[in-house]
Structure 1
Amino acid sequence: MKTILMCSDGSAFADGIYRYGAWFARHFQAKAEVLYVTDIRSQKLVSTGNFTGSIGLGASDQLLTDLVNLEHEKAKLNNQRARLILQHAEEMLKAEGLSDVALINKTGFLVDQLHDFEADADMVVLGKRGEAAEFASGHLGANIDRIVRSSTKPCLVTPQSFAPIEKLLVAYDGSPTGKRILSFLVDSAEGFKDIDIHLLTVAKSDTAPPTELESAQATLQQAGLSSTTTVLSGDPETVISDYIDKNQISLLMMGAYGHSRIRHLVIGSTTVQLLRSVQVPVLLFR
């Protein structure tokens, strides 16, 4: 892992983005990048159409002058806001022990800009919710769905508060996406060697561990990673959420699009509900 791309909007969830991003950057000796995208809708100049027929020539000219001046002031404030947000991000990341930090400010839409930068990143980090967090406590951020659907890289969705990552849960179903999660762990084994890894399969009944789960454990063991395996039955959302609480899990890894009973993940019922309900970061793979 060489580059961690953190997408920030300066909201209350931003500090969680920086701290979790810094954790991964430290453990994998990766470069940290912070991307802040100024929404193009806040930069758009007002229409300068002809108002003379409705309010008179002199009033129309004065109104257009005032509106243009207002838009220039808005542009200045947006630029100042971007500088302050990125400055705070840099201060936070350096306080977390990072020295190699790149700050990026673009104007447009985050989903569109993301494609230009994620190509060189190994992980994308974004907050569970954004600027309207205080107004919609039960909802996900507006960009989560589109980013996870469109991104080709693992996406780490972070909560507002940070907690050290000590226990990792992999929701494993033997699918190609599940195998990509194993490959990610194997390729990053050095950074996960001190993490308590749990492999959980949600099956139709509590049976002996299926061959796929045993094989997954063996794959991790060959990379020097020890893990425990568990098979539980029930509703995937409830089983996974309860397992996280009972075992004090601090990071969940799962497929963004699943297999069998864990199909329809992002943005289908299971993943949406888990992202809303769990208070740990979720690393999603496609």
Structure 2
Amino acid sequence: MKTILLCTDGSAFAENVYKYGAWFANQFHAPINVLFVTDIRSQKVASIGNLSGSIGLGASEQLLNELVNLEHEKAKLNNQRARLILQNAAEVLKAEGVADFNLINKTGFLVDCFQEFEANSDLIVLGKRGEAADFASGHLGANVDRIVRSSNKLCLITTREFKPIERILVAYDGSLTGKKILQFLVDSPGWQSIKIHLLTVGKNSSDQTAVERLSEAKQWLERGKFEPTCSLMEGEPEKVIANYVNQHNISLLLMGAYGHSRIRHLIIGSTTTQILRSSNISVLVFR
């Protein structure tokens, strides 16, 4: 892992974005870029439009001047806010033992600015929700949903509370993405000290396909010197995974990203979305 990108908005989720980013940076000896994007809409003020005919030319010019001054003041406040947010990020990262980081402030929209930095990043870290977290606690942040769906990089979606990573759960389905997760663990010595749980969801306990998948994954991890705790369970994947996380005090969930059925997305959403919305732990999403 060469570079980690932390996307922050200064919300209640931000501090733990920094802490999780720091954990991965320390584990993988990777530098961090912290990106804060000032929403360009927050610097715009209402236009006077064609008010001159209704309030008079003189009044219109006076209002225009006041609006221009207000826009300048908003720009100053936004710059100050950006400095404070990035300063807080720097303080948290230093406290977590990270020295190699870069602070970046852009003006625009996150989903647009993000593309500029994604190409040179191996891991993207985002808070589960943003500034409206207290008003939309049952939903994913709009930027998170867009970025996770479109990015081809590893995405870590963090929760509001930091939880030390001691036990991880791999939700394995036998897909190419699932195999990528296993190889990621085998190639990364930093996971050797962490307890790994391996879960496959089947039609029933004698589902031969699921049994073979679980055996395959177990052997793969054992070749990497891991001793995984393996489980085969039946039921709806999102419910099975959620129950397992709670029962075994899992710290981090590793799973594949969205599937390829656009109809399923439109009608009922994907398992990934449902788990990201409801999970009380952070989720590392693979493409």
Measured against the shorter chain, the TM-score band is over 0.9
What amino acid is the match of 1:27?
Q
Counterpart residue number, 1:227: 228
Q: How does 1:70-81 map to 2 (within 5 A)?
A: 70-81=70-81
What per-residue deviation string (whole Å, max 9, x for no partner) do you get for residues 99-137 of structure 1? 001111111111111111011111100001110111122
Q: Which residues of structure 1 form unaligned runs of 5+?
A: none
> Which deviates the most, 63-72 or 269-278?
269-278
* Structure-2 separation of matches of 1:283 and 1:51: 52
Q: How does 1:13-24 map to 2 (within 5 A)?
A: 13-24=13-24
C-alpha deviation, 1:163, in angstroms: 1.2
* Structure-1 separation of matches of 2:164 and 2:31: 20
Whether the 8 Å contact between 1:177 and 1:258 is mirrored in structure 2 is: no
TM value normalised by structure 2:
0.93
**Alpha carbons of 1:86 and 1:145: their partners in 2 closer, same or farther (altered >3 Å)?**
same
C-alpha deviation, 1:88, in angstroms: 0.2
What amino acid is the match of 1:106?
K
> Which deviates the most, 216-225 or 171-180?
216-225
C-alpha deviation, 1:50, in angstroms: 4.1
* Structure-2 separation of matches of 1:237 and 1:2: 32
What per-residue deviation string (whole Å, max 9, x for no partner) do you get for residues 9-43 of structure 1? 00000011011111111111111111101111112
* Structure-1 separation of matches of 2:114 and 2:180: 22
**Alpha carbons of 1:279 and 1:9: their partners in 2 closer, same or farther (altered >3 Å)?**
same
C-alpha deviation, 1:258, in angstroms: 4.2
Whether the 8 Å contact between 1:18 and 1:92 is mirrored in structure 2 is: yes
What amino acid is the match of 1:171?
A
Tell me the percent identity. 65
C-alpha deviation, 1:52, in angstroms: 1.5
| Matched pairs, number | 282
TM value normalised by structure 1:
0.93
Counterpart residue number, 2:33: 33
Counterpart residue number, 1:272: 273
Q: Which residues of structure 2 form unaligned runs of 5+?
A: none
Whether the 8 Å contact between 2:259 and 2:270 is mirrored in structure 1 is: no
> Which deviates the most, 235-244 or 251-260?
251-260
Q: How does 1:137-148 map to 2 (within 5 A)?
A: 137-148=137-148
The runs of at least 4 aligned residues of structure 1 exceeding 3 Å deviation read: 44-50
Q: How does 1:51-200 map to 2 (within 5 A)?
A: 51-188=51-188, 190-200=189-199
What amino acid is the match of 1:5?
L
C-alpha deviation, 1:218, in angstroms: 1.7
* Structure-1 separation of matches of 2:62 and 2:258: 55
